[in-house]
Amino acid sequence: MLDGCRSAAVERLREILDRAFGARPPGVTLAGLAARGTPGAALVDAVADPGDLLVVGTGTRAPVLRALRPSVARYCLVHAPCPVLVVPPGPLRADLESVRRRRRWRMPMDARELTGSP
């Protein structure tokens, strides 16, 4: 059962990498790995060579979450044996969170707020 889940996860990761990066330039190797464990430790364990580059996304976190769960990006920055690139959320992320809050509280929404129109 676990092997089937892992195979499906690796295949899905390959599809995502191919869609995101398309054709790879010569000399660039992308590797996908499905690992089980805490996110920070699993990512750090996946990189061994100082020539690797670990790319980690980050997002906004509520104060309660910050207290309960450590930041994966911060863990990687401290423990990884290679350079770590931390990518902040895009500007559309704030818009998405705003829409979700408004829907949760059933507040009216003006589409012009999302497009930046006056």
Which residues of the chain are modeled with pLDDT < 50?
Answer: none
The one-letter amino acid code at 57 reads G
pLDDT of residue 112: 64
In this prediction the pTM is 0.61
| Beta-carbon contacts of residue 56 (< 8 Å; ≥ 6 apart) | 43, 72, 73, 76, 84, 85, 86, 87
CA-to-CA dists, residue 32 to 14, 76, 80, 90, 98, angstroms: 6, 17, 17, 23, 33
pLDDT of residue 86: 92
Give the pLDDT score at 111: 62
What are the structure tokens assigned to 62, written together?
A: 């509520």
Can you tell me whether residue 57 is helix, strand or coil? strand
- pLDDT score at 37: 86
pLDDT at position 43: 92
* Nearest-angstrom CA–CA distance, 69 and 36: 17
Domains of the chain, residue spans: 1-34
- Phi and psi at residue 54, in whole multiples of 5°? -100, 120
